[in-house]
Amino acid sequence: MTFQQLKYAIEIANWGSINEAAKRLFISQPSLSMAIKELEEELKITIFERTNKGINVSVEGTEFLGYARQVIEQIELLENRYLDAKPSPQHFSVSTQHYAFSVNAFVNLIQKYALEDYEFTLRETKTYEILDDVKNLRSEIGILYLNDFNNKVINKLLKESNLEFTVLFQAQPHVFISAKNPLAKQANVSLDDLDPYPCLSFEQGQYNSFHFSEEILSTLTHKKNIRVSDRATLFNLLIGLNGYTISTGVLSADLNGNNIIAVPLNIDETITVGWISHKNVTLSKLAAAYVQELEKVIQDYH
């Protein structure tokens, strides 16, 4: 087993693709595949499970990669300290549902550490992909919500993937609407109040289950429905069409301005937002620092 093989395995896990990893490493795909095959044979474990849709990190591979990352980090520290080598870029990835506070914390993390050389990834993505990213170590942290409706299904997937959920905060449902919406002056709104307006939600692609929806009450029918894939488009439609979306009520004026407001939704529900991580992997310093920034941002919002 060589340090190079460890780096190869980590790069494949980061990109979720042998093809992409080979490009990033500037080697051929057959050479990379052979290096990993030799590593797996030597260790007598399967690190990556090959499927028609690509590769997944196995349970054994998850544990191995956790140790491999720690070894590589220590080697880089030694090289930087004693060989006067150029510091390696800092790496960190997070996958999240479409929450402004997760972006705020990401910005604060980079500004606080004043990193000169880094490769960070922030994925605002679908619920199933958040689970898959953290399971396969493409992201150290995932951010999503639980409620009475999706709790059983999401927790089952967390258990099967050896992931754990840590509560970040609990919130009562709100709707995001334009500051010019006729409902904007109300102290709270009901579902009947919202009926004339377009309901906006984030599409979930291939895994379009009600339990993966980013919005509560996903089983309700609406006369006007619009699904979008990104937060900027959703907010533009809130303003342009007087639409609404159901969320936590946590909104950033710094990122979104004052054109969007949060109004309490008159319904007996609770949304529990939290972050997920892999049980077998110790959080890196940057991941732990990001969690601290998340907590600070939420405290500031409250």
pLDDT at 119: 84
CATH topology of domain 1-88: Arc Repressor Mutant, subunit A (1.10.10)
CA atoms of 40 and 66, how far apart (whole Å): 15
pLDDT at 249: 84
Cβ atoms within 10 Å of 239's Cβ, excluding its own: 16
pLDDT in 10s for each residue of the chain, 302 residues: 888 899 899 989 888 888 888 888 888 988 899 999 999 999 999 999 888 777 888 888 888 988 888 888 888 777 776 776 566 677 899 999 999 899 999 999 998 876 677 889 999 999 999 999 999 888 999 999 999 999 999 999 999 999 999 999 999 999 999 999 999 999 999 999 999 999 999 988 877 778 899 888 888 888 899 999 888 899 899 999 999 999 998 876 665 667 899 999 999 999 999 999 998 888 888 999 999 999 999 988 76
pLDDT at 246: 92
The radius of gyration computed from the CA coordinates of the chain, to the nearest angstrom, equals 21
For the chain, list the strands marked E by DSSP. 48-51, 54-57, 90-96, 118-124, 141-146, 163-171, 174-178, 199-202, 225-228, 244-247, 260-264, 271-278
Of 187, 213, 189, the residue nearest 200 (C-alpha): 213
Where do the CATH 3.40.190.290 domains begin and end in the chain? 93-302
Please tell me whether the overall predicted TM-score, pTM, comes out greater than 0.85 for this model.
Answer: no
Residue position matching structure tokens 């993966």: 212
CA atoms of 31 and 227, how far apart (whole Å): 43
pLDDT at 255: 58
- What lies within 8 Å, CB to CB, of 25 at 6+ separation is 7, 8, 11, 32
CATH topology of domain 93-302: D-Maltodextrin-Binding Protein; domain 2 (3.40.190)
Where do the CATH 1.10.10.10 domains begin and end in the chain? 1-88
CA atoms of 279 and 98, how far apart (whole Å): 24
